[in-house]
Structure 1
Amino acid sequence: MDFLSVIPPIVAVVLAILTKRVLFSLFISIWVGGLIAAGGNPFAAVGLTFTWMKDVMVDPWNARFLVMTALLGTGAAFMFKTGGSEGLIRVMQKRLTTKKRVLFLPYFLGLLIFFNDYVNSVIIGNATKDIAAKYKVSREKLAYIIDSTASPIATIGPVSDWIGFQVSLVAAAFASMSLVGAEPYFAFLQSIPWNFYAILCLLAVPMIIAGKDFGPMARAEHRAHTTGKLVPEGSTPLSSVDQDLGEPHKKDGSVWNFILPLVTLITVSIWGLWYSGGGAEGKSLMDALADTDVSVALTWGAFAMTVVGIILAVIQGMSLKSCEDTLLGGIRTMLPALIIIVLAWSIGTVTSELGTAEFVVAATQGWMTVALLPFLVFVIAMFISFATGTSWGTMSILTPIAVPLGYTMGGEELIPIMIGAIFAGAIFGDHVSPISDTTVMASIFSESDHIAHVNTQIPYALVPAGIAGVLYLLYTVVGSSIVLLVAGIIAQYFILRYLGNRHERRYGKAG
């Protein structure tokens, strides 16, 4: 474990930002990791690169996830081809009469679809991107709203596969500590008010929608408003259903062609989460979610969504050839995303092989104190999840280390704070990392250029993250998560207002 282990993810992030070419940047960073692992042999590094890529693709969970992503693309394609998207816009236009109302639509949908972040991105992107385009909302702004509700709401929502996973991690940590009488789910519930980043991030979105943009996002919105260009000049959105599929089969299609596949996706996915976790065998809902196979459940949902889309298309008069073309077109829209996801997973393998996370933890463990512990765990979780692109991986790494450490140093009352700090940092790093699968999904379904989405989102994410960091430092002084959270919300409101006004004074309303 040495400093070399952090070089590949740094290369990935820096190259992606400098070149704006995600595929190139990810591949080079994997090769750099192979070069380190192979002791400097460039040819062996190439062999390792493709071995790692092969390994992540044949992993059962990953393979199913790739199939699920392709099926989500085909389901979305049939929504578009049967005129469901157009039908939704016609219905919505009567009520969404201003740009701000249009922006609040993906936000409220994001809060409602709390049970899985991937499904959240798919549904909101397909439901809102066309009407957002009519009101000249930049794709970067739409991607930010989608990304800022997906993971944060899934990690604190009432029921989700995230919560099942998180509770299982807490339970394992309690077992390793031989902590008798502590209820993992109750400890998780106690940790929610300490998950400062997720809560502040969810509240930052309406504050920004109702207020003023600043930084790169303000310039993106100005470009979209004045020129009608929803993406930057010369950029490449990860997918475009319109370009890949052509015109809808029927432009006056019914909104039910959107609603029925959507309801099918949600209901089958929720049922699948319950059933694959053993719900039919008598397990409680939370126990079933803790043991569920997310990839299986969501693949069932995505497949059912596609089947309903095909049935509606045939009823509408589409030929089997047109249905087949739509299927292939839907998969084609997902190809860039599928390749990026495989490369992002491969970076995760690189960091695991080189011991990146262990190096970061070991480098800081020696100088932790009780007062600094939640703050340092939050920062370490931010760095690991940003470097690896995975919040779940970060939670898996840190929970068994940080929860027992917090219990040893501060007793049982420190446990919920530690859990909140781990999950908050994991969400932030995953949220802003260009190699994060959830960030990629937000770019795909908003039809945004990926690097443009990352660049515009980072300043907005840094505000709640910075405030969260300060709140963790103050926990020994204040002690109450609710008091700290209220103070953080008030501070965030005034900081965002100041930044928006400052940008307007400096650059004018033109941004």
Structure 2
Amino acid sequence: MEFLSVIPPIVAVVLAILTKRVLLSLFISIWVGGMIAAGGNPFEAVGVTFTWMKDVMIDPWNARFLVMTALLGTGAAFMFKTGGAQGLIRALEKKLNTKKRVQLLPYFLGLIIFFNDYVNSVIVGNASKDITAKHKVSREKLSYIIDSTSAPIATIGPVSDWIGFQVSLIAASFASIGIIGLEPYFTFLQSIPWNFYAILCLFAVPMIILGKDFGPMAKAEKRAQTTGKLIPDGSVPLSSVEDDLGEPHKKEGNVWNFFLPLVTLISVSLWGLWYTGGGAEGKSMMDALADTDVSIALTWGAFAMTLTGLIMALIQGMKLRECEETLLGGVRTMLPALIIIILAWSIGTVTSELGTAEFVVNATQGWMTAALLPFLVFIIGMFISFATGTSWGTMSILTPIAIPLAYTFGGEELIPIIVGAIFAGAIFGDHVSPISDTTVMASIFSGSDHIAHVNTQAPYALVPASIAAVLYLTYSFIGSGYVLLIAGIIIQFFVLRYLGNR
């Protein structure tokens, strides 16, 4: 039974890549999981499948997340309809006059918006989608830039809901094994240089932008440059604002139609993260972020963004009927993504019910040593995150297991190294798994075909992942995270240069 637990996620990934039909692949893999749970009865498996899907939709956090995603779509729809994207292009086009400069825009925006990966995808995608299209940057390349900055920057800070969540996991693990005198947040700060994959990703993006593409991405960029086709023939982007919303109400939009909804989204979301975590009761920012309710805070922010867009549309002279159509069009752009997210969560339920993560951990636990532990934790994290499509879920599974192991094998000194390896492995799966919510969000807001995004990003993610794996293997000889990190950045530069020249 335990071995069978890895079959559903493998089916999901293989079918998605072979058929290029994400929805069908995810549903079949959930049904396969239902077959295993039902002891091979195909009819009972259908009942189990829909029960799992119902359960993830009525979960309070998930239900709010679905509402938030729809509201982000309506907010983005008003930005488009009021001409905000066109206003931004007019404001930037004189300075962003080359293809490389245009690609650096989403990268630097991604670094600035570090407090949440979902909000990062919304803002960066909307800010850069039209201007990158004008310079014939493929949608696959844009989605790679968005995806490879949003989660890595959220996990290392300086302040984000990710960090609050990660610190709370560290604190719970310390309490479970009775560690006294170690501050969880300080341990997190010590782990940052050991989060090799996230940091190497953040360096890989500009190295690739300023260098040369390789693999499937090089083909995508050549297609966009020579034919003007931003997505492959026969592919379907997860979101097409133009198809769902038609022409902007005012083509000569003002840049404020873009910035005001975004400033509202950021400020209300940040305030919500602080407030729902008990900031108003006197908690510090980090304590508030550790206890915050992300789904409520971001839903407030997304609603405030939509409301701001609606008010600006009315001021522009849009009729109520047009505003209502824009609202519905915004939800429509998000519909494929909402269904994928529900199915991806259901796969998470399948792997949880069948014990996928426990199987992976138990299969390797017997032959761990202090020297091998960071490498193995990183590899296990990669596999669990890839199979389940959730970095937070991977962190939740691995942290309470890996920190006690680190303390047993290497004492307090090994803990920050292991924490860095856990978070690094968890983020890798976010980048290469077609069932990851952050990968889906990057595809939506870049206007990319989802499978095309996964296929082109995978080779780019494997370079920093491979280098990170080697660095974890050599930690016991060198011992300094900073020295290893600098070596890794230099190695990555030459590897990417070599692959680009080929």
Partner of 2:455: 455
What is the letter of the counterpart of residue 434 of structure 1? Answer: P
What is the letter of the counterpart of residue 426 of structure 1? Answer: A
Distance 1:209 1:3 in 2: 42
Partner of 1:506: none
> RMSD over aligned Cα, in angstroms?
0.4
Correspondence 1:21 to 2:21: yes
Correspondence 1:467 to 2:467: yes
Distance 1:298 1:2 in 2: 37
What does residue range 307-386 of structure 1 map to in structure 2 within 5 Å?
A: 307-386=307-386
Correspondence 1:62 to 2:62: yes
What does residue range 43-442 of structure 1 map to in structure 2 within 5 Å?
A: 43-442=43-442
Q: Structure 1: 5+ residue runs without aligned partners?
A: 503-511
What is the letter of the counterpart of residue 457 of structure 1? Answer: Q
Distance 1:253 1:113 in 2: 24
Partner of 2:499: 499
Partner of 1:505: none
Cα shift readout 1:477-510 (whole Å, capped 9, x = no counterpart)? 00000110010000000000000001xxxxxxxx
Distance 1:233 1:431 in 2: 24
Cα shift readout 1:193-226 (whole Å, capped 9, x = no counterpart)? 0000000000000000000000000000000000
What is the letter of the counterpart of residue 206 of structure 2? Answer: P
Deviation at 1:94, TM superposition (A): 1.3
What is the letter of the counterpart of residue 465 of structure 1? Answer: A
Distance 1:274 1:306 in 2: 21
What is the letter of the counterpart of residue 150 of structure 2? Answer: A
Tell me the secondary structure at the aligned position of residue 186 of structure 1. helix
Deviation at 1:359, TM superposition (A): 0.3
Deviation at 1:78, TM superposition (A): 0.2
Distance 1:371 1:479 in 2: 11
Distance 2:261 2:429 in 1: 33
Deviation at 1:434, TM superposition (A): 0.3
What is the letter of the counterpart of residue 268 of structure 1? Answer: V
Tell me the secondary structure at the aligned position of residue 114 of structure 1. coil
Deviation at 1:253, TM superposition (A): 1.2
What is the letter of the counterpart of residue 407 of structure 2? Answer: Y
Cα shift readout 1:22-76 (whole Å, capped 9, x = no counterpart)? 0000000000000000000000000000000000000000000000000000000
Distance 1:72 1:205 in 2: 26
Moved over 3 A (4+): none
What is the letter of the counterpart of residue 68 of structure 1? Answer: M
What is the letter of the counterpart of residue 395 of structure 1? Answer: M
Tell me the secondary structure at the aligned position of residue 260 of structure 2. helix
What is the letter of the counterpart of residue 58 of structure 2? Answer: V
Distance 1:244 1:158 in 2: 37
Distance 1:306 1:93 in 2: 27
Distance 1:142 1:164 in 2: 28
Distance 2:487 2:89 in 1: 39
What is the letter of the counterpart of residue 342 of structure 2? Answer: V
What is the letter of the counterpart of residue 370 of structure 1? Answer: A
What is the count of residue pairs matched by the alignment? 502
What is the letter of the counterpart of residue 438 of structure 2? Answer: T
**% identical equivalent positions:** 83
Distance 1:146 1:360 in 2: 30
Distance 2:197 2:457 in 1: 14
Deviation at 1:189, TM superposition (A): 0.2
Deviation at 1:251, TM superposition (A): 0.4
Distance 1:2 1:313 in 2: 55
Deviation at 1:431, TM superposition (A): 1.4
Distance 2:247 2:210 in 1: 35
What is the letter of the counterpart of residue 439 of structure 1? Answer: T
Cα shift readout 1:272-308 (whole Å, capped 9, x = no counterpart)? 0000000000000000000000000000000000000
What is the letter of the counterpart of residue 437 of structure 1? Answer: D
Distance 1:22 1:157 in 2: 32
What is the letter of the counterpart of residue 223 of structure 1? Answer: R
Distance 1:253 1:103 in 2: 23
What is the letter of the counterpart of residue 473 of structure 1? Answer: L
Distance 2:264 2:370 in 1: 49
Distance 1:293 1:457 in 2: 31
Distance 1:393 1:241 in 2: 31
Correspondence 1:482 to 2:482: yes
Partner of 1:509: none
Normalising by structure 2, what TM-score?
A: 1.00
What is the letter of the counterpart of residue 363 of structure 2? Answer: A
Q: Structure 2: 5+ residue runs without aligned partners?
A: none
Deviation at 1:429, TM superposition (A): 1.1
Distance 2:428 2:102 in 1: 26
Distance 2:159 2:115 in 1: 6
Distance 1:436 1:135 in 2: 29
Distance 1:167 1:433 in 2: 25
Distance 2:384 2:329 in 1: 36
Tell me the secondary structure at the aligned position of residue 171 of structure 1. helix
What is the letter of the counterpart of residue 324 of structure 1? Answer: E
Distance 2:455 2:424 in 1: 21
Distance 2:254 2:9 in 1: 46
Tell me the secondary structure at the aligned position of residue 411 of structure 1. helix
